[in-house]
Structure formats: structure tokens, C-alpha cells
């Protein structure tokens, strides 16, 4: 028997299976509501390996045969045929496949879709990052011959409108297209990208375009995880280039709720992780594994450790509102203090993360947008931004202060409710963004001014700042001892292996990533009574403090709980103990001392915590700054001598003792420096 016959027989036999008949009958009843028959590839493979193989190698031909057979078998409900909307001449039905095997490489990553796969059936996993409107596409084009008026219907199988080759009547090739008499279908363009959790160490996610037709449109939305089964196609270049554009014509789109094949953790590794968790030094060991190339900043690193593990998930308050488990951190401060480097390190160790800059104009920005663009042929495209794509992970957002207006306005909702709403041009959608934010921001005037209120120095609204659990101001303090240590540390990275010992992570990055994954997935600690009391006492203390103490808000209380929970997760403990609460309290106190952050008003108020400088003290400091500044400006080397300064200070009413004290303080804080003995200069950028 020739192969062709066998194939058709096989298809026939497969669709005669009992459960298939049942499905086919349902299509008959429900058409056009239901028009697709879904086939499990593994079942087909068990039924006939050869046929299963053929469908992968030559999907165009085989699926066409499957569809033809299906159409023959469906008996459409006669009542439906009477429906005026029903085009009985042309029932559209589809055979859609799912469950293509992984081991034979039919299920691949976007990056693996090479030219070898053109014309083949594949499955590819990804996250939808763009989605166009549903667009009308010609299915059967009606053409009229301009010479003899013959009518020709030409089925359209590609992206381009293809006129008939020649007129059957007069053999000429001159047609006009009649849209109103043509047949149309719905089409939607998507773009998917590789799931971030499959990428290692800050790799870029690759993307590919997907075309979905008819009942496959609007299956998901940006941010959704999907498995696409389809045929790889090429699109000719616009000009005469030989490089084609590839896309996948979807045969099937499935939404997957579960996480993708998460980091695989073996039994041995679980043992190792459990052992690590029992180590009394585990916190230090993790801190020393985060950004080992960056000197110091142990509190920042500790906070990042807590952020990686996160708080307890799935909590709901009695009123139904959900508490967020994600810890948001903000690093603000001088340029060149390794903020960006820190973010990049975290992007490498987090099991799922994305690194973006606030001003990065490429793509959809930070949250989500609806834009009119070419992708949707001039229609609307919904785009998922970093927070949506990194759902369940960490978004490292550099230059947070530079984000655009739209992002800024959706950021409040994104950080607290962890959703992003888009309402534009009739599009109303809500995206999920269960994402922890690690943000970095530079001061407006290039340098951090220790004496100006923070709110004036950063282009971030106080309402947004108050949504961070911890805020770390990082000042580039000129300090010879520390500078030497930083320099030594940095230079070590350029030296031999032996000397690099210090800058190597304590726990191997790969293991740490698995550790974090394991804890996030399996540990959901409950807070103990003692820990609750500890946190409550601290909180009440903050609230009832006198005016020179920082005021706290319930937001801070929640932050304390989250931080304590995370601390327990690091130990893989089911219980949040007093020691966990203490860790959270210690970090919170640390940042509160660092910044005079008045959480009650959501404003920064240097007066409150920086009690060392009363208002008059600050006036004196400003006066001293002015003196040094103006003297330095007069000098050809931009330096002011000690004697000159003291003279001017006494002239302007400062006593000598105060003047000396402030001068040395300005030096310590890095506002001025002493390039030569008893000669002072302003630090560059501080005009
Ligand atoms: P920022 O984003 O804060 O402006 P960067 O992350 O770009 O700063 O850092 C500037 C450079 O200075 C980087 O190469 C970084 O490694 C180095 N650097 C600054 N402070 C430290 C430090 N404490 N330890 C190691 N390297 C540092
Ligand atoms: Mg930077």
C-alpha cells in the first residue's frame, strides 16, 4: 500500500477512537462556539509513531489532512445552520496539538528556534510580553479581473495578500481586490519571551513573534505563561536582503498556571541546603555571598538576603485584602558607590529576576502599557513591563528616579496591591505583579547633600518612597582608611586566584540560587507570640517617641513582619522567633538612623533624627559651606586656606570652636577635602 493511503487511513482510524468521536460530536453540537479538536501528541505517538513523526516534520500537509478528515466527520447541528451568522459554505475547524515531548527537542526555548526548524512543528514555552488587538485578516480573497470581469476566489495562507496567478477566462494578470466580498478571520500577533527563571546569571531573554488565528485569539494576556505549539515560518525581508524574519504560526496556545520547570534541586543538594540552614553563621555566610566584589555595605546585603527569601506568602487579612510578601528596597545616594553593581549582582543570584533602568525607553518600561504601534499594524498593543515579566521574582530597577510619568503613576498600585491596571482606548485590564523591587536612585544634583532634606534631593514622590520597606542612603564619604580598603578590595578582583579568595562568594552562586528557590517554595513560617510582642514593643516605641524620634506607620509594622518572616525562611524554620524579630528591628533601626525618614508624613525630615543638627546648627553649617565656597572661588587653585576660613567665620559671627568643629565635620562627611595641608576644596560636583 502506498504511504499516502496508509497515512490517511491512520488519521481516519485515530479520529475513530471513542473519545475522539465524542469530541467531534461536541463540535457538531456547539459549532461555531467550539471548532477545535485537541490532540495529545503523546497519545498520537503511542497510536502510531510514524504518523506522529510526520506531523512534526511536515505539519502543513498532515494537519491539512487531519482537518479535512475532521470536517468530514462533524455533522453540524442543523439548527445552527439556520443561524444567519453561520457560513455553512465554509465551516472553520482545527486540529490542535499539545504535549509535544521535551526529550526529542520538539519543545524548545526561543533561542533554539534556528533555521533548522523552519516549516516544522515545535512547542515553545514563554511569557507573553506583547499582544496586539485582534485584527481582521483575509482568509479567502475575492478578486475581479480588470480585463474580463471574471471573479476568482483565492485562499490566503500567508501574511501577504496573494492575487491569483492568472485569470482563468482571459489568462491576464490584472486584478482588483474586493474586501466586502472576501472572507475574513481574526488574527492576533503576540510576542513571547523566555521565562526569566530559565535564564542564568542575568542573561537576556530572547523573543519571538507568534501569530494566533480565530479561536486562539485572546487566550492569554501579557505576563501570562504559555506553551505555544506551532509551525516556524519565515517572512521575506522588506528590501532585497537575504535575512528573513522568523515567527511561529500558532497551532495551539495553552496557558500554564504553574511555574515553569523551576530550578531543579537534587536530593543531595537539598541535604546540603538543610545543612547550611542549620549553620549558626548562615546569615553572615549569605551576606558574604551577595556581591562579594563590593566592599562593605553589610546592612544592605543583609536586607537583600531577606529580600531574596521574602516574607510569608498567601496571607489574607480578615477583610479579604492580601498582604504582600515581597520586600521592597531602595538604595539612594551618591554616584559611583556601586549601587548599579549591587543591582547587577542581585540579578545574577536571584532565581528569577530582571535588571532594568528606569529611563530605559526600550520596550514597555517598568509596569505595563497600551500603545499604538506597527506591531499591531497601527492598532493597539498591550505590553508587559519589567514588573509583570518578573512576577514571582525580583525586579532590579536602576535609576528609579528617572522613570517616566506613566510608570510612576502605576508604581503605587504595583508596589502595594501588586497589580497594574491599564485603562486606555477601551482597553481595561489588570496585570499581576507579585514582584519585589530593588531600586537604586541618584540624587538630583549629582551629589548627596547631607544637610538638605532627602525629599528635595531625589526625584521620587514621598508617597512612593513610603512604600519601600527599607531605604538605604549611601554616601560617598571621603575616608582614607576606608578608601584604601575599597581600593584593595577592588584590585583583588584583578589579581591571581589566590588573592581573589576574599571576593569569592562564601556559598556557591548556583547553590545559593537553589537555596533561595527551595525556601521560597517550601517554607512559610508563622510568627510566634514572642516575636509579635517584640515587634509590637519596638513599633509602639517608635510611635510614642518624642518629636525628635522617627514616627512609624502601620506600613512599617507590616515591613517588620515581612522582614522577620524572611529571616525565619533563611533558617528554613516554620516559626518566626524573637531572634528573627530582632534582626528585622536591627535593620529597621539602622536605616532610620541613617535617614531621618518621617514615615508618618511620608516625608523626609532631617530635623527629626539628625538631632545632632538643630536648625541653628544647620544654619551654621550652611554658613560655613558658603564661606569655604566663596573663598575657594576667589582662589586660582579653588582652595581656601584654614586661616582665611577661620577669619571669615569669626567675622560672620561663628565662634572659633564651632567653626573648627564644623570644618572637620564637613571634611569627614566628604563635603570638602584637604588636598594640601590646611587647604580645603569643595568635592567636585558640589557647586
Ligand atoms: P553607582 O551606580 O552607585 O553610580 P556603580 O555601580 O556604577 O555606581 O559603581 C562605580 C564603580 O565603583 C564600579 O566599578 C564599582 O565596582 C566601584 N565601587 C564603588 N564602591 C565600591 C565598593 N564599596 N566596593 C567595590 N567596588 C566599588
Ligand atoms: Mg548607577
Among 300, 341, 474, residue to substitute to test ligand 1 (most atoms within 8 Å of Cβ) = 341
Q: Using the mean position of ligand 2's atoms as its centre, give its distance from the Cα of residue 163 in Å.
A: 55
Q: What angle do CA 248, 253, 259 make, to 5 degrees?
A: 110
Strands (DSSP E) contained in 394-458 are 394-398, 419-424, 427-432, 436-441
Q: Looking at residue 258, what DSSP letter applies? A: S
Counting every residue written for the chain, the total comes to: 687
C-beta separation of 539 from 548 below 8 A: no
**Cell triple for 645:** 576660613
Q: 128 alpha carbon to ligand 2 midpoint, in Å?
A: 29
pLDDT at residue number 211 = 94
Residue-wise burial string across 21-46, b where 16 or more C-beta atoms lie within 10 A, e elsewhere: eebbeebbeebbeebbbebebeebbe
Of the candidates 622, 635, 284, 250, the one whose C-alpha atom is nearest the C-alpha of residue 449 is 622
Q: Best of 483, 490, 502 to mutate for ligand 1, by most ligand atoms within 8 A of CB? A: 490
Residue linked to cell 501577504: 160
Locate the DSSP E strands across 393-497. Answer: 394-398, 419-424, 427-432, 436-441, 470-474
Of residues 604, 599, 614, the one with CA closest to residue 555: 599
Contact between 144 and 150 (Cβ < 8 Å): yes
Q: What is the mean pLDDT of each run of 10 residues along the chain (687 residues)?
A: 71 93 91 91 94 94 94 80 58 92 79 91 93 90 90 84 87 90 90 85 84 92 92 82 87 79 79 95 94 88 96 74 88 88 92 84 72 84 89 91 84 88 80 92 74 69 85 71 72 63 77 92 93 91 56 79 96 96 92 57 39 58 86 86 90 82 80 83 63
Tell me how far apart the alpha carbons of residues 230 and 120 are, in angstroms, rounded to a whole number.
Answer: 8
The answer to whether the Cα torsion of 541, 544, 548, 552 is positive or negative is: positive
Closest Cα to residue 227, out of 203, 250, 197? 250
Q: Identify the pLDDT of residue 336.
A: 86
What is the CATH T-level fold of the domain 613-682, as seen in this structure?
Answer: Arc Repressor Mutant, subunit A (1.10.10)
pLDDT at residue 600, as a whole number = 37
Beta strands in 72-118 (DSSP E): 94-98, 107-108
Domain-wise residue ranges, the chain: 7-99, 111-256, 267-607, 613-682
Cell of 651: 567675622
pLDDT at 295: 84
Atom of ligand 1 nearest to the CA of 297: 23
Q: Where are the beta strands (DSSP E) in 444-487?
A: 470-474
Is residue 360 lining ligand 1, measured as CB closer than 6 Å? Answer: no
pLDDT for residue 429? 82
**Fold held by 7-99:** mini-chromosome maintenance (MCM) complex, chain A, domain 1 (3.30.1640)
The matching CATH number, chosen from 3.40.190.10, 3.40.50.300, 3.20.20.10, 3.20.20.60, for 267-607 is 3.40.50.300
| Neighbour-count burial of 457, counting CB atoms closer than 10 A to its CB (0-12 exposed, 13-18 middle, 19+ buried) | buried
> Whole-prediction pTM value?
0.76
CATH topology for 111-256? OB fold (Dihydrolipoamide Acetyltransferase, E2P) (2.40.50)
Amino acid at each position: 500500500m502506498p504511504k499516502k493511503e496508509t497515512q490517511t487511513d491512520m488519521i481516519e482510524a485515530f479520529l475513530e477512537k471513542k473519545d475522539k468521536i465524542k469530541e467531534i460530536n461536541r463540535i457538531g453540537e456547539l459549532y461555531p462556539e467550539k471548532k477545535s479538536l485537541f490532540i495529545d501528541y503523546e497519545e498520537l505517538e503511542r497510536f502510531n509513531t510514524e504518523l506522529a513523526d510526520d506531523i512534526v516534520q511536515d505539519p502543513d500537509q498532515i494537519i491539512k489532512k487531519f482537518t479535512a478528515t475532521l470536517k468530514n466527520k462533524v455533522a453540524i447541528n442543523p439548527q445552527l445552520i439556520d443561524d444567519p451568522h453561520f457560513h455553512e459554505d465554509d465551516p472553520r475547524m482545527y486540529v490542535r496539538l499539545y504535549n509535544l515531548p521535551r526529550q526529542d527537542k520538539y519543545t524548545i526555548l526561543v533561542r533554539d528556534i534556528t533555521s533548522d526548524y523552519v516549516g516544522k512543528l515545535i512547542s515553545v514555552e514563554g511569557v507573553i510580553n506583547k499582544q496586539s488587538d485582534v485584527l481582521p485578516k483575509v482568509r479567502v480573497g475575492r478578486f475581479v479581473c480588470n480585463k474580463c470581469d471574471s471573479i476568482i476566489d483565492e485562499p490566503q495562507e500567508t501574511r501577504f495578500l496573494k492575487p491569483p496567478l492568472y485569470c482563468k477566462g482571459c489568462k491576464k494578470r490584472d486584478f482588483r481586490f474586493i474586501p466586502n466580498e472576501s472572507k475574513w478571520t481574526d488574527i492576533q500577533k503576540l510576542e513571547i519571551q523566555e521565562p526569566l527563571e530559565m535564564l542564568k546569571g542575568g542573561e537576556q531573554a530572547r523573543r519571538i513573534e507568534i501569530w494566533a488565528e480565530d479561536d486562539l485569539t485572546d487566550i492569554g494576556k501579557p505576563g501570562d505563561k504559555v506553551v505555544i505549539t506551532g509551525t516556524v515560518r519565515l517572512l521575506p525581508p522588506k528590501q532585497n536582503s537575504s535575512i528573513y524574519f522568523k515567527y511561529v504560526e500558532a497551532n495551539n496556545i495553552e496557558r500554564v498556571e504553574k511555574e515553569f520547570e523551576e530550578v531543579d534541586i537534587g536530593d543531595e543538594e537539598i541535604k546540603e541546603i538543610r545543612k547550611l540552614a542549620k549553620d549558626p553563621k548562615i546569615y553572615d555566610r549569605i551576606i558574604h555571598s551577595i556581591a562579594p566584589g563590593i566592599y562593605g555595605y553589610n546592612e544592605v546585603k543583609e536586607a537583600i538576603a531577606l529580600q531574596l527569601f521574602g516574607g510569608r506568602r498567601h496571607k489574607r487579612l480578615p477583610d479579604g485584602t492580601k498582604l504582600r510578601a515581597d520586600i521592597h528596597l531602595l538604595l539612594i545616594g551618591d554616584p559611583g558607590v556601586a549601587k548599579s553593581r549591587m543591582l547587577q549582582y542581585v540579578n545574577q543570584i536571584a532565581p528569577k529576576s530582571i535588571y532594568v533602568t528606569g529611563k530605559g525607553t526600550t520596550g514597555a518600561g517598568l509596569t505595563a502599557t497600551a500603545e499604538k504601534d506597527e506591531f499591531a499594524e497601527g492598532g493597539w498593543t498591550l505590553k508587559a513591563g519589567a514588573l509583570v515579566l518578573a512576577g514571582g521574582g525580583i525586579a532590579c530597577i536602576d535609576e528609579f528616579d528617572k522613570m517616566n510619568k506613566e510608570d510612576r503613576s502605576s508604581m503605587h498600585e504595583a508596589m502595594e496591591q501588586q497589580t497594574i491596571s491599564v485603562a486606555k482606548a477601551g482597553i481595561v485590564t489588570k496585570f499581576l505583579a507579585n514582584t519585589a523591587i530593588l531600586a537604586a536612585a541618584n540624587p538630583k544634583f549629582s551629589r548627596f547633600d547631607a544637610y538638605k532634606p532627602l525629599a528635595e534631593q531625589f526625584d521620587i514622590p514621598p508617597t512612593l518612597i513610603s512604600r519601600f520597606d527599607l531605604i538605604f542612603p549611601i554616601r560617598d564619604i571621603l575616608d582614607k582608611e576606608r578608601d584604601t580598603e575599597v581600593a584593595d578590595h577592588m584590585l583583588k578582583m584583578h589579581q591571581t586566584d589566590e588573592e581573589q579568595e576574599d571576593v569569592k562568594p562564601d556559598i556557591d552562586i548556583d547553590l545559593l540560587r537553589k537555596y533561595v528557590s527551595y525556601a521560597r517554595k517550601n517554607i512559610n513560617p508563622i510568627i510566634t507570640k514572642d516575636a509579635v510582642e517584640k515587634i509590637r514593643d519596638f513599633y509602639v516605641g517608635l510611635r510614642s517617641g518624642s518629636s525628635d524620634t522617627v514616627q512609624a506607620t502601620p506600613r512599617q509594622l507590616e515591613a517588620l513582619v515581612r522582614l522577620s518572616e524572611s529571616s525565619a525562611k533563611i533558617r528554613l524554620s516554620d516559626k518566626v522567633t524573637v531572634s528573627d524579630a530582632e534582626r528585622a528591628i536591627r535593620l529597621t533601626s539602622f536605616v532610620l538612623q541613617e535617614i531621618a525618614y518621617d514615615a508618618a508624613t511620608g516625608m523626609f525630615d532631617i530635623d527629626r533624627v539628625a538631632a545632632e543638627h538643630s536648625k541653628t546648627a544647620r544654619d551654621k553649617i550652611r554658613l560655613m559651606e558658603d564661606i569655604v565656597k566663596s573663598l575657594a572661588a576667589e582662589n586660582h587653585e579653588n582652595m581656601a586656606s584654614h586661616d582665611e576660613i577661620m577669619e571669615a567665620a569669626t567675622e560672620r559671627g561663628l565662634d572659633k570652636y564651632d567653626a573648627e568643629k564644623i570644618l572637620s565635620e564637613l571634611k569627614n562627611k566628604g563635603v570638602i577635602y584637604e588636598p594640601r595641608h590646611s587647604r580645603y576644596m569643595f568635592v567636585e560636583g558640589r557647586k
